[in-house]
Structure 1
């Protein structure tokens, strides 16, 4: 009995010491200017970033904010906002709200309450999601108005669609289904079970079109365009719903979606074409590398049932690294990644005159090495496979982070946020703080260039006065918060990776 009592005392002492140490870390965190900048951002959004427009005011957050006037942009010549009138991003207009762009700020609010014990932040998150799922879904179909082409107009209190497109499209993100289910299980299940299933063009093969009309009509019998970044979202959502409900139907759907993609995988190279329609046989978007994280998310959700998904995810990343990476570019002589690949031969293919991914620069349909880093870092963080850490290091070297920071006058917030989150992810898994040291100058850069009046801005040239959710302002805040937490040893509080494409493309 004395021995047991002694052990119990030692255990209690260890727990007490650990709690005390964590409280010291939290106290140091709260005094850190980096953390304080993120908390100020959260306070700014609570005070000025809510829906106080139109006849109905609501707890929704705005997608854009003029940080000088602290109002949404007027969408005029003198106050245009970002992408005003751009049909491809009709869902992200200056007067819109869009859940897909708000995943970062939702994580900031949830995490902020945990580390400060201030309930206001998480209450705002819950109120936002509750209102969105209760009051903003399409009355005909029950679809959530999110993604590139559809949003919610907070001025006119109605769903907004562009002149040329009326499409429901969700892709490229790690969706926090738990947060949605927490406030509205029925609406969450409907989006996963009905909306995503309606994207299917063929129920036998699971070929789908990433676009679907908001009226609830299915895509059956229409031309498929099974883009990898949407396939992964559907697959993970069905795995999540299977785990939540125990209904094996959803696991079968996830397996069929993965089988659709696996059927396109080249036996010679292990590479997968971007889709089966527009670029047959080519892997064009670096975003295609992000299908591996979807496989690893599925594996984590499924536990022992997910071993095959995990193996496929690792193999896919290694295949991408094998064929896309070059230690010596023809033009610069430095390491890099090819922009496009022939999936059957693994040879690079020129598309639109581009041969290599640039370290940072994003142009239409051409991404950058940060997208590769995002996938590699997620893979390493999820598996601890040292081969993927080597891939991470290759991507970091190819990005030329210190030089690129010096050379770029502007840096998109989604790009910077993706790189910061990737470096934190690698540091968290490896325990190697050098990755945080690599992130430090980038954090300092964005707090100087992409932060104004207590708010993270778009980072877009000429748009420095605008918070823009779609350009990654909220996700940058989440990434900087992740860096601050990791720097103070609070690794368990680091918010999740959300942006799986690590940059901007539409």
Structure 2
């Protein structure tokens, strides 16, 4: 069997297992599953290093976690003549959109701290599972961007929930002056989230909200939605420093060394790319002008491509490196370099700014050359995004070296993550867990094999939700 045939056989077998499990839950995929793909785990294993208990979807389903898997099903359906995969992906979204989205605020139970509980058939609260005494209720946090293709599918199933969600995002604005938002919002209580010592208004989340509102506005042009877009568009613009960079959050006590005086170049880029994605006819010039300024700011950070230093955080006062991104072994709050490199490639697709391509190519060279470490549990997300980066570089440049590197990496990843039917959530563990990003691994493997077997254009689009 050829390498590409082996990859596709493994990915399709994993997809079939997830689809089969989904039949027990109206089409939804459970988050934690044994590697044979037989059943949802009865108990959650201990978290791996860098994974927080309050971020996991215990005996539940999480659409944001599964987005890349659903995209992969559609790509395989088109490229491999598997209409059953497309039907399964549509069945999942239909069940979610019509059964799981009617909440008091309109916000969906998905993302970082909320999910759909498959045992109780109700909103799941990750924090409550970690601490049963907690009474605050489920929290909405986007975790990653919701892509427009997914919103289109949701719209087809339940147009009303798209507008309800857009309205519900207003609960991310907090009480008090000056105006401020927070990345968290209550799902089951119609109230503004209380302010704390820190604002927690990460720039990338503002970009996610703008994309959500932009899609809702295209579906139903309401003045209220446009006002929300404009408010968020203007929120960060005056908060830039002299280099144009944005802080990781706009308000932090001075004694907090982790967040005070800290810029987030990667989140500045994330916001830029979301503005390019969401550009509205009513605001297109302002959105694109500001996006380009944020892109310029990203390159003002102290990256060192020759030394492989990719900056996720820098000191605002001095522009010195505060934290770099690893190639392998991400933990909460520290993304793998591929995360931002794929964001850069999406930016390149929008702007043809060669600086973005060159930055991503530098990261790609690291994934082509640096071995997967055996000393840490590397989340499947790192592996999948690294592979997705190499595949995307090949599609954009047509340079064979990127496809060769992707195939070589695929062979290593199959050995590490595919001990049985489903991919392990991280290297060195014996269970599948959607929160660790195995959907990105399935996507990266499938995209690599489809490009190798059938060439360009690929039937499976790139995934740029991790930004």
Same fold by TM-score, threshold 0.5 exceeded?
yes
Following superposition, the deviation at residue 415 of structure 1 comes to 1.0
Alignment pair present for 1:380 and 2:344: no
Alignment pair present for 1:297 and 2:277: yes
Q: 2:18 aligns with which of 45, 66, 74?
A: 45
Contact in 2 for aligned 1:66/1:81 (Cα 8 Å): no
Q: 2:192 aligns with which of 205, 213, 219?
A: 219
- The match for 1:495 is 461
> Once structures 1 and 2 are overlaid, which stretch shifts more, 141-150 or 471-480?
141-150
Contact in 2 for aligned 1:380/1:426 (Cα 8 Å): no
- The match for 2:314 is 341
Following superposition, the deviation at residue 284 of structure 1 comes to 4.9
SS at match of 1:340: strand
Q: Cα 1:387–1:460, aligned 2, differ >3 Å: closer, same or farther? A: same
Cα deviation, 1:316-342, whole Å, max 9, x if unaligned, reads 2343233231256xxxxx331345312
Q: 1:361 aligns with which of 325, 329, 335?
A: 329
RMSD across aligned C-alpha pairs, in angstroms? 3.0
Following superposition, the deviation at residue 243 of structure 1 comes to 2.0
- The match for 2:297 is 319
TM-score (norm 2): 0.86
Following superposition, the deviation at residue 496 of structure 1 comes to 3.7
- The match for 1:451 is 418
Cα deviation, 1:411-440, whole Å, max 9, x if unaligned, reads 321111112222222322233333222322
Alignment pair present for 1:228 and 2:186: no
> Once structures 1 and 2 are overlaid, which stretch shifts more, 112-121 or 441-450?
112-121
Distance 2:286 2:56 in 1: 37
Alignment pair present for 1:186 and 2:150: no
Following superposition, the deviation at residue 169 of structure 1 comes to 1.2
SS at match of 2:28: strand
CA radius of gyration, larger in = 1
TM-score (norm 1): 0.79
Q: Cα 1:61–1:368, aligned 2, differ >3 Å: closer, same or farther? A: closer
Following superposition, the deviation at residue 287 of structure 1 comes to 4.8
Cα deviation, 1:351-378, whole Å, max 9, x if unaligned, reads xxxx533332323433332233222222
- The match for 2:444 is 479
Distance 2:462 2:239 in 1: 30
- The match for 2:169 is 196
Following superposition, the deviation at residue 204 of structure 1 comes to 8.9
Distance 2:355 2:4 in 1: 38
Distance 2:268 2:436 in 1: 20
Distance 2:181 2:378 in 1: 34
Following superposition, the deviation at residue 202 of structure 1 comes to 5.9
Following superposition, the deviation at residue 51 of structure 1 comes to 5.9
Q: 1:419 aligns with which of 377, 386, 389?
A: 386
How many residue pairs match? The answer is: 447
Q: Cα 1:498–1:180, aligned 2, differ >3 Å: closer, same or farther? A: farther
Alignment pair present for 1:116 and 2:80: yes
SS at match of 2:124: strand
Question: Any stretches of 5+ residues in structure 2 without a counterpart?
Answer: 253-258
- The match for 1:247 is 222
The equivalences for 1:116-195 within 5 A come to 116-137=80-101, 139-161=103-125, 162=128, 163=131, 164=134, 166-175=138-147, 176-192=150-166, 194-195=167-168
- The match for 1:25 is none
Question: Any stretches of 5+ residues in structure 1 without a counterpart?
Answer: 1-27, 329-333, 350-354, 502-506
Higher relative contact order (CA 8 A, sep 6+): 2
Q: 2:402 aligns with which of 429, 435, 438?
A: 435
- The match for 1:237 is 212
Distance 1:427 1:253 in 2: 38
SS at match of 1:152: strand
Contact in 1 for aligned 2:338/2:386 (Cα 8 Å): yes
